[in-house]
């Protein structure tokens, strides 16, 4: 009985209409995130802001991950249109796992950059950097609204994409706070410290996503084995 319920829930979660809607949402987020990434990385180097630059590079991984999510939906929809058998849940869960692992590399990159900045500090153009950080935060909040979903009807692919958005909101907010403190109180090291704190939080969230994705993959394998029996 519970197995039938699972199939019914899965059919609703992965029906063509739902998949197409998720693909469109990820496409919009991908576009606006790409533009913001270019802006943040460019001004991160121009203003010498470690917090802003780290947020920009994190946005780069976010664009890469959202792009992978969009391709995953496109692939599944195409397979369904060809009336081919495709394990939708398993495919999306694997992409979700990939995205979560990507977050680990992002966090490590941010920590390395922060340590380098401690050893070689640079003068930061705070006012210009703050303007860009505000734009980045607004874009991330908009992206989160677009990808907002009910947990009961989400798949691991969408969940991982949404997790990337949340980490972007965190790093954008932390970057903005660090820049404001540096501008008005002259605490330049806060820019680097905030980068490290954000990286540690990202590591924790990526661990949660990796665990959820692996659990979903194992669950789908178990369900498939039960069906054969």
Domain range for 22: 2-219
Question: Which CATH number fits the domain that encloses residue 133?
Answer: 1.20.1510.10
Backbone phi, then psi, for 87, in 5-degree steps? -80, 85
- Whole-angstrom distance, CA of residue 22 vs CA of residue 144: 13
CA distances from 48 to 78, 103, 141 (A): 45, 24, 25
Structure tokens at 30: 């991908």
Series of mean pLDDT values for 10-residue runs along the chain (229 residues) = 44 63 86 90 87 79 79 78 58 74 82 83 87 92 81 62 80 87 86 81 79 77 62
Quote the tokens at residue 168.
């972007």
Question: How many structural domains does the chain have?
Answer: 1
Question: What CA–CA distances, in Å, run from 52 to 112, 144, 194, 227?
Answer: 15, 20, 11, 50
- Inside any domain, residue 140: yes
Given a contact cutoff of 8 angstroms between Cβ atoms, the answer to whether 48 and 120 are in contact is no
Give the orientation angle of helix 2-13 with respect to helix 190-228, to 10 degrees: 130
pTM of the model: 0.68
Taking a C-beta distance cutoff of 8 angstroms, is the pair 100, 209 a contact? yes
- 8-state DSSP, 83: T
pLDDT at 214: 84
> Cβ-count burial of 135 within 10 angstroms (0-12 exposed, 13-18 middle, 19+ buried)?
middle
pLDDT at 224: 62
Tally of CB atoms within 10 A around 142? 16
Q: Looking at the domain assignment, is residue 224 inside a domain?
A: no
Q: According to the model, what pLDDT value does residue 150 have? A: 57
Helix axes 156-185, 190-228, angle to 10 degrees: 170
Residue 229 lies inside a defined structural domain of this protein? no
Is residue 106 situated within a structural domain? Answer: yes
């Amino acid at each position: 009985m519970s197995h039938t319920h699972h199939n019914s829930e899965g059919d609703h979660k992965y029906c063509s209409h739902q998949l197409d809607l998720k693909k469109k949402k990820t496409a919009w987020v991908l576009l606006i995130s790409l533009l913001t990434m270019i802006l943040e990385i460019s001004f991160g180097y121009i203003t010498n802001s470690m917090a802003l630059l780290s947020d920009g590079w994190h946005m780069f991984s976010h664009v890469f991950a959202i792009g992978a999510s969009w391709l995953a939906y496109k692939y599944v929809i195409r397979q369904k249109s060809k009336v081919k058998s495709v394990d939708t849940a398993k495919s999306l869960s694997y992409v979700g796992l990939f995205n979560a692992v990507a977050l680990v590399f992002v966090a490590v990159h941010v920590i390395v950059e922060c340590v380098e900045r401690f050893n070689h500090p640079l003068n930061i153009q705070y006012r210009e950097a703050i303007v860009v950080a505000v734009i980045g935060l607004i874009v991330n909040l908009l992206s989160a609204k677009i990808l907002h979903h009910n947990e009961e009807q989400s798949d691991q692919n969408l969940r991982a994409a949404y997790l990337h958005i949340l980490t972007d909101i965190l790093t954008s907010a932390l970057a903005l706070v660090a820049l404001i403190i540096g501008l008005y109180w002259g605490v330049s090291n806060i820019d680097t410290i905030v980068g490290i704190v954000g990286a540690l939080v990202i590591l924790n969230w990526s661990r949660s996503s990796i665990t959820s994705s692996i659990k979903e993959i194992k669950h789908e394998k178990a369900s498939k084995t039960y069906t054969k029996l």
